[in-house]
């Protein structure tokens, strides 16, 4: 059992309340997903559950965590910096149980993850692994420690489509507790039987949470029905209030008029009218008390919305966006050939997605395509890397990144757009290092929108957006009037946005 009692969390920098009096109980067999908009504290909650000291520098937290001696296994959203320079072998050696495993058992685990049988013993540095290989290595090391409770922060990030299928089976087959964060709606729909929803409502001035022991789709449906019912009741209460207020005003004005027009020679009638006005005012006070118990309109945290692209972003249907060929694609260190005879042609506003197994070289290929397109003068391309820090200095604020001119008028406009993306005034002045992955992704999307780009080069564009924002992002990209070249393992993104899918193999790009 995992129990959390009376947890309160307050952001240290801007004193925003993340959670207030949070209570939750999970039992064996529960597969609970934590959902919520970007920056709402999902990762912070998971870190606190694993080790309360982990969040000390970020927020004030007080509450009780009851785990009854069970062992916790934690997968962070990003590979810790201190592990990046270690070899794969050194990384696994740090888990005491690693040396107790037989070669046969290690081979079995490697095959289950779609990794070479010698993977555990490689001298290759962890930082040189593909995004998906890093995730697999971390999960493997967690499993070696024989955990009872799994805490997984974005386990589906950068995992190829084949391994996503394995991950779903793995979560469903885990007999104890799995508590995870994911932006992969398909994974959530297939695995979660409980939902923890963290919200920031009323312009992020009030926190709210819901714990629902039901599948994700059922939770969304019941939440929608509940909101619709509450909205109907609230509208009905307001109609009745309007009718009541109009009637009250007529009575009040009638008595008030009678009081003003009564003759001084008729004191008896004056006393009666005074009593009547007293009764009318008493009725008004009763109505005011009743208003306090009126059904409130449902308060929901809206998903982000803004338009991506404009008239400048349109590309004629016959224009060649890129005709790219590469004889051999090497690893970044030039030591190994990943693929040969690569050819890609894109015309007009096509939206293509490159898929493939982890380590196939998709990000390396996209880098090369980006280099060519970003240098073109007849196109305006923008690039969103998988690792945001490639282009985003962790010491910069969102406004610094979006505008280097210092022009007050431009910065005011940027602040308006950031507000539409659910940034608070305080968050606009946070450094990138203090922002969540989803908040960083929003900055890149806004930069693309403001730039008037007509070609978007996107490496895992939806990987850090919540399941609530995901549909909005997909619709924005689908309606974008220019070309989109992407890498993604997001099954909904591939189905809803992309016109063509290419699989990168050792033999090149194969259209699916």
Distance from the Cα of residue 135 to its chain's centroid: 18
Structure confidence at residue 247 as a pLDDT band (50, 70, 90): confident
pLDDT-derived band at 421 (thresholds 50, 70, 90) equals confident
The three-point CA angle 30-32-38 to 5° equals 175
Strand 194-201, strand 31-35: pairing: parallel
For 293-327, write each residue's pLDDT tens digit: 777 766 665 555 567 877 778 899 889 999 999 99
pLDDT computed for residue 45 by the predictor:
96
Evaluate whether 467 touches 35 at the Cβ level (below 8 Å). yes
Residue 302: what pLDDT? Answer: 56
427 vs 41: CA distance, rounded Å = 13
Do the beta carbons of residue 434 and residue 381 sit within 8 Å?
Answer: no
Average pLDDT, the chain: 88
Instruction: Please state the rounded mean pLDDT for residues 274-300.
Output: 79
Mean pLDDT across 388-406: 85
| 71 secondary structure, DSSP code | P
pLDDT at 304: 57
pLDDT tier at 265, thresholds 50, 70, 90: low
Residue 19 has pLDDT above 90, yes or no: yes
pLDDT tens per residue, range 69-111: 899 999 998 888 899 999 999 999 999 999 999 999 999 999 8
Tell me what pLDDT residue 242 has: 85
Beta carbons within 8 Å of 329's beta carbon, 6+ residues apart: 337, 338, 339, 340, 342, 361, 364, 365, 368
Q: 177 pLDDT exceeds 90?
A: yes
DSSP structure class, residue 125: B
SS3 sequence, 278-316? HHHHHHHHHHHHHHCCCCCCCCCCCCCCCCCCCHHHCCC
Question: Given pLDDT bands bounded at 50, 70 and 90, which one contains residue 188?
Answer: very high
Q: Contact, 461 vs 327, CB < 8 A?
A: no
Neighbour order of strands in the sheet with 500-505: 381-384, 455-459, 483-487, 351-355, 500-505, 508-511
Residue 299's pLDDT is what?
Answer: 66
Share of the chain above pLDDT 70, in %: 97
pLDDT tens-digit readout, 337-389: 999 999 999 999 999 999 998 888 999 999 999 999 999 999 999 999 988 88
Q: Coil, helix or strand for 31?
A: strand
Lowest mean pLDDT among 20-24, 157-161, 322-326, 365-369: 157-161
What percent of the chain is predicted at pLDDT more than 90?
A: 49
Residue 456 in this model has a pLDDT that exceeds 70: yes
CA nearest neighbour of 281 among 256, 264, 262, 246: 256
Region of poorest pLDDT, from 62-76, 157-171, 336-350, 484-498: 157-171
pTM of the predicted structure, to 2 decimals: 0.76
Are 128 and 361 in contact, with CB atoms under 8 Å apart? no
Average pLDDT over residues 447-476: 88
Helices 103-112, 131-144: axis angle to 10 degrees equals 140
| Cβ atoms within 10 Å of 395's Cβ, excluding its own | 9
Q: What is the pLDDT of residues 70-79, one digit of tens each?
A: 999 999 988 8
Which stretches of 281-375 are assigned E, i.e. beta strand?
320-330, 337-347, 351-355
Lowest mean pLDDT among 132-136, 234-238, 430-434: 234-238
DSSP lists the bridge partners of residue 11 as 59
Of the listed ranges 242-246, 316-320, 458-462, 502-506, the one predicted with least confidence = 242-246
Query: 3-class DSSP state for residue 495?
Result: helix
pLDDT of residue 243: 84
pLDDT above 70 (res 419): yes
- CA pair distance 324, 485, nearest whole angstrom: 12
Residue-level pLDDT at 306? 64
Please give the residue that has the higher pLDDT: either 245 or 422: 245
Residue 7 has phi, psi (to 5 degrees) of -85, 130
Strand 483-487 and strand 31-35: the pairing is unpaired
E strand spans, 158-213 = 177-181, 194-201, 206-212
pLDDT given for residue 263 in this prediction: 63
Q: CB-based contacts of 511: which residues, under 8 Å, 6+ apart?
A: 500, 501, 502
Query: Which residues touch 365 (CB under 8 Å, ≥6 apart)?
Result: 326, 329, 339, 342, 354, 504
Q: Which helix (H) or strand (E) segment is 185 a member of?
A: helix 185-191
pLDDT of residue 194: 97
Query: In a 3-state reduction of DSSP, which class is residue 368?
Result: helix
């Amino acid at each position: 059992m995992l129990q959390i009692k009376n947890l309160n969390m307050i952001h240290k920098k801007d004193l925003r309340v993340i959670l207030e009096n949070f209570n939750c109980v999970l039992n064996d067999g529960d597969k609970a997903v934590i959902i919520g908009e970007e920056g709402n504290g999902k990762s912070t909650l998971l870190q606190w559950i694993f080790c309360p000291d982990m969040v000390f520098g970020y927020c004030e937290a007080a509450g009780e965590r009851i785990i009854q001696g069970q062992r916790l296994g934690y997968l962070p959203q990003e590979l810790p910096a201190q592990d990046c320079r270690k070899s794969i072998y050194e990384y696994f050696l740090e888990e005491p149980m690693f040396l107790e495993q037989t070669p046969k058992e290690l081979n079995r685990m490697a095959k289950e993850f779609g990794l070479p049988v010698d993977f555990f013993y490689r001298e290759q540095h962890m930082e040189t692994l593909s995004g998906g290989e890093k995730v697999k290595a971390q999960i493997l090391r967690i499993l070696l420690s024989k955990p009872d409770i799994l805490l997984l922060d974005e386990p589906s990030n950068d995992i190829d489509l084949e391994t996503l299928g394995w991950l779903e089976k793995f979560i469903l087959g885990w007999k104890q507790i799995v508590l995870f964060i994911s932006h992969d709606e398909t994974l959530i729909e297939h695995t979660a039987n409980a939902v923890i929803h963290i919200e920031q409502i009323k312009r992020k001035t009030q926190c709210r949470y819901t714990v629902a022991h039901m599948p994700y789709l059922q939770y969304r449906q019941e939440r929608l029905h509940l909101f619709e019912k509450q909205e109907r009741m609230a509208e009905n209460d307001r109609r009745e209030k309007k009718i009541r207020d109009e009637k009250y005003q007529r009575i009040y004005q009638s008595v008030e008029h009678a009081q003003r027009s009564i003759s001084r020679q008729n004191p008896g009638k004056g006393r009666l009218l005074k009593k009547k006005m007293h009764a009318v005012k008493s009725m008004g006070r009763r109505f005011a008390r009743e208003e306090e118990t009126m059904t409130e309109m449902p308060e929901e945290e809206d998903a982000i919305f803004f338009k991506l692209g404009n008239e400048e972003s349109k590309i004629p249907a016959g224009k060649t966006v890129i005709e790219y060929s590469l004889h051999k694609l090497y690893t970044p260190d030039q030591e190994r050939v990943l693929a040969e005879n690569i050819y890609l042609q894109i015309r007009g506003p096509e939206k293509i997605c490159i898929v493939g197994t982890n380590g196939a070289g998709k990000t390396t290929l996209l880098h090369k395509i980006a280099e060519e397109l970003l240098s073109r003068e007849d196109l305006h391309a923008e690039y969103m890397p998988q690792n945001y820090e490639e282009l985003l200095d962790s010491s910069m604020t969102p406004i610094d990144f979006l505008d280097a001119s210092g022009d007050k008028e431009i910065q005011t406009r940027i602040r308006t757009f950031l507000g539409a993306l659910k940034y608070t005034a305080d968050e606009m002045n946070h450094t990138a290092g203090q922002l969540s992955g989803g908040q960083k992704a929003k900055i890149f999307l806004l930069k693309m929108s403001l730039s008037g780009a007509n070609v978007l080069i996107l490496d895992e564009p939806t990987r850090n957006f919540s399941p609530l924002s995901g549909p909005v992002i997909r619709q924005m990209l689908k309606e974008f009037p220019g070309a989109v070249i992407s890498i993604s393992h997001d099954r909904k993104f591939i189905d809803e946005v992309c016109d063509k899918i290419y699989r990168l193999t050792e033999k090149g790009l194969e259209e699916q």
